Structure 1
Amino acid sequence: MDTKRPSTDQPVLAHIQDLVQEEHRLFEKGEHGTVAEKDRHRLTQVQVELDQCWDLLRQRRALRDAGQDPNQAQVRPARVVENYEQ
């Protein structure tokens, strides 16, 4: 993702949409036969990046709701977002 974030959430939402489409495409490949190791690896990467994007979006919204600058939100490392309790 781009390190510069505009004050709207649209770029984050668009990136999420792109990742979801790729995730669905990779899942479909798995349903129609054997999945190559590179596709499994990419699927894992996409899912981690989706978690990071959703976390960034939540941060941006929380900052905005608190009257702060949503551009202060930062993408957190995968090891952080992947260890959140659901």
Structure 2
Amino acid sequence: MDEQGKAGGTDRRILDRISAMVDEERKLRAALSEGRIDQSTEQRELKDLEEQLDQCWDLLRQRRARTDAGEDPNQAGVRSVEEIERYES
């Protein structure tokens, strides 16, 4: 498999992880509406999920930018939530 194929597989795994977290977010909201968890639990867990989602999207953007620039996407790395927030503000 060439480097492009490997990069695509890694990107697919990141997208699969994002999809799983979005599903988890839906489950949390349903659990709250059904009274299975309280609002503070939902908010705490949603905050954790949102931070992980931000990191996944950031990593995917880094990988795509490196690929577009002809660089190795595998040199991209997960950045801290604080670092990502600085870029988003």
TM-score by length of 1: 0.80
> CA-to-partner distance for each residue in 1:39-85, whole Å, 9 max, x for gaps?
32211100000001000000000000000010011000011113312
Partner of 2:47: 44
Contact 2:29 2:42 in 1 (8 A): no
**Number of corresponding residues:** 80
Of 36, 54, 57, the match for 2:57: 54
- Is this contact kept in 1: 2:66–2:72, CA < 8 A? yes
C-alpha separation in 1, matches of 2:62 and 2:72: 10
Amino acid at match of 1:64: T
Contact 1:26 1:43 in 2 (8 A): yes
Alpha-carbon shift at residue 29 of structure 1 (Å): 2.4
1:3 maps to which residue? Answer: none
* TM-score computed with the length of structure 2 as normaliser: 0.78
Deviation at 1:28, TM superposition (A): 2.3
Give the fraction of aligned pairs with identical amino acids, expressed as a percent.
Answer: 41
Higher relative contact order (CA 8 A, sep 6+): 1
For 1:45, what is the secondary structure of its paired residue?
helix
User: Which sections of structure 1, spanning at least 5 residues, go unmatched?
Assistant: 1-5
1:12-54 CA distance string (max 9 Å, x none): 0010000110011112223344625333221110000000100
Whose radius of gyration is greater, 1 or 2?
2
Q: CA RMSD in A?
A: 1.7
Residue 43 of structure 2 is aligned to residue 20 of structure 1: no
Would you say the 8 A contact 1:60–1:71 is kept in 2? yes
Give the Cα–Cα distance (whole angstroms) in 2 for the partners of residues 28 and 56 of structure 1. 29
